[in-house]
Amino acid sequence: MDKSLATGTHRLSLRQQGPSLPLWSGVGAGIFLLALVGGTVTVLLARFGGDVSPVLTDPYLHAVIQFTLWQAFLSTALSVGLAIPVARAFARRHEFRGRRLLLSLMGLPVVTPVIVAVLGIVAVYGRNGLLNQLLQQAGLSFSFRLYGLSGILLAHVFFNLPLAVRLLLPAWDRIPAESWRLASTLGMSSRQLFRFLEWPALSAFVPGALAIVFLLCFSSFAVVLVLGGGPATTTVEVAIYQALRFDFEPGRAAVLALAQLALCSLIAITMARWLRAEPLTPGLRYSARYRPDCDNRAGRWLDRILIVTACGFVGLPVAAIVLAGLRGPLVAVTLDSALWFATGRSLAIALAAAMLALGLALALAVCARHLAVRLRQPARADLILVAGSLTLAVPPMVIGTGLFLVFLSVGRSGDLALVAIALVNAVMVLPYAVRGVAPVLIDSARQHERLCAQLGITGWQRFKRIDWPAIRRPTRFAAALAGALSFGDMGVAALFDTSGAITLPVMLYHRMAAYRFDQAAVTALLLVLLTVGVFLLIDRGLGQWRS
């Protein structure tokens, strides 16, 4: 009775104190996001004019939307469909030497700049690529049309197959060891194990993987821009870029941006129930030694082939970039002053975007913690976190188009380009930062809230001594990933580009478009090394500060 009375008195005192700094920080971050997204959408609507009849009857818009949906559907089906047997092979060979290293290799596409990976794919699978050269030496020929739908699908599988594998692997942790022992006692075959044990666990993870991969493929830009090969293979984001940079039709760009916003919002709402992370059941431990099919020789060889093929598929384009860069005019390219000016701009954008994304994520996470733990309002805490994930339904090109039109109307589209690129990149990576930091911060508060209240630890002292040690690792990773992704992104940067060298990825794209592949290879190698350097710089920089 005394305990409940004390709890009620504590909650009453919190309400009487009025809004606190954590609450206002989250509200401020939410208002900033709503102003940025809502303001750009308002600009697009104003440019659009509200007449929907030309949109509904525009065959070009219909063709672009149809191809965008079709390539996203095929890319998702291939990526997740191939990821299931690869993830099963990794799960079935749970304790082999080098497994952790190979899984880290599967994470390379996440931090590899898209334009660099596309150049690596061309170097491996192109007409004069590594694969064709090896086949010609063996007296064979291989015909593969890289530019078009087939090339887009190949690149999307390269990026999303490893992601899907990592999303699906936790499914095997949901299967208790007792189930494997029972299956061994019953003498189940590998096919029966998959049907009765593995697929029921996978079915909780596959829809989420499908939703995430589909959204990524739907809003793909650099892959389609480089490998599209013509008007017949144009997606909505590429059409926006063409409307602004080549045709200079802001009205058409606004219509395309609004169409993409509507489609992405509809997809996100439809798939919202699948985007939630599946918690693991406490106490369950997966161990491959309990599987009755681990000693099967055919299964062992099949798993080895799948793992080696998947890792080779991911590693070959990166290796090709490294070899081509070392063979190119390394000295001439590295002495080019324009390259280092572009590098400086890319670095400034990456650091600004990483710090802004981290600041917004911490503000939203602290506000959600305050609502969930101190005020006992989990529904409002979830609403704050949803605000941080708002940009999942608003593609970066939509925000970039709105900012482009705003700056164009005031005649400052060139001067404010770097600010716009940093803003868009920050909100692009914000959902990943929020999802990495907020759950850890809320769990830490649930463990230490009462102790902090008793000892009077508040404000900066609480953050430095209690919160930071708990969230230091996910915060470091989130900020480093944000910086690396922003450094290697060329989507919005290409929209604001006027010189061909506004950022390093845009410079690489222009060198590829000019068929200067030797210089492009060296630029790609430098871009990869610098991206890794930015990741390590931010990660180690934040890691140096300890409580």
Residue by residue, DSSP assigns 475-535 as HHHHHHHHHHHHHH--HHHHHH-SSS-SSHHHHHHHHHHTT-HHHHHHHHHHHHHHHHHHH
Packed helices 517-543 and 114-125: angle between N→C axes, nearest 10 degrees: 140
* Residue 377 CA to its chain's centroid (Å): 30
Domain spanning 71-325: which CATH class is it, in words?
mainly alpha
pLDDT at position 436 over 80: no
What tokens does 263 get? Answer: 């489609």
The kind and range of the H/E element at 101 are: helix 99-105
Mean pLDDT (whole number) for 145-160:
90
pLDDT at position 153 over 90: yes
Count of C-beta atoms within a 10 Å radius of residue 69: 17
Q: Nearest to residue 493, comparing CAs of 424, 428, 433, 427?
A: 424
Q: What is the pLDDT of residues 340-382, one digit of tens each?
A: 999 999 999 999 998 998 888 888 888 888 787 777 777 777 7
Structure letter (DSSP) for residue 141:
-
What tokens does 415 get? Answer: 């001067």
pLDDT at position 12 over 70: no
Mean pLDDT (whole number) for 49-62:
70
Contact 272, 433 (CB under 8 A): no
Which residues lie closer than 8 Å to 453 by C-beta, 6 or more apart? 10
What tokens does 245 get? Answer: 């940079």
- Residue type for 93, please? R
Q: What is the dihedral of CA 344, 348, 351, 355, to 10 degrees?
A: 170
Measured CA to CA, the distance from residue 14 to residue 493 in angstroms comes to 46
Q: What is the pLDDT of residues 396-415, one digit of tens each?
A: 888 888 888 888 777 666 66
Q: What is the pLDDT of residues 460-514, one digit of tens each?
A: 777 777 777 778 787 888 888 888 888 888 878 887 776 666 788 988 888 888 8
pLDDT at position 17 over 50: no
Measured CA to CA, the distance from residue 400 to residue 498 in angstroms comes to 15
**Per-residue 3-state assignment (H helix, E strand, C coil) for 203-216:** CCCHHHHHHHHHHH
Contact 112, 530 (CB under 8 A): no
- In sequence order, which ranges of 246-296 are alpha helices (DSSP H)? 250-270
Contact 388, 360 (CB under 8 A): yes
> Number of helices and strands (H, E) in the chain?
27, 0
pLDDT at 204: 79
What tokens does 243 get? Answer: 């409307």
* Residue 196 CA to its chain's centroid (Å): 33
pTM exceeds 0.85: no
Burial degree of 324 (CB within 10 A; 0-12, 13-18, 19+): buried
pLDDT at position 75 over 90: yes
Q: Nearest to residue 427, comparing CAs of 23, 35, 27?
A: 35
List b or e across 123-155, with b for residues whose CB sees 16 or more CB atoms inside 10 angstroms: bbbbeebbebeeeeeeeeeeeeebbebebbbbb
Contact 526, 339 (CB under 8 A): yes
Measured CA to CA, the distance from residue 217 to residue 70 in angstroms comes to 10
Contact 235, 64 (CB under 8 A): yes
Q: Nearest to residue 227, comparing CAs of 321, 145, 325, 316?
A: 145
What tokens does 139 get? Answer: 């007296």
* Residue % of the chain over a pLDDT of 90: 9
Q: Nearest to residue 476, comparing CAs of 424, 539, 419, 414?
A: 539
Which residues lie closer than 8 Å to 387 by C-beta, 6 or more apart? 29, 30, 33, 34, 364
Measured CA to CA, the distance from residue 308 to residue 78 in angstroms comes to 18
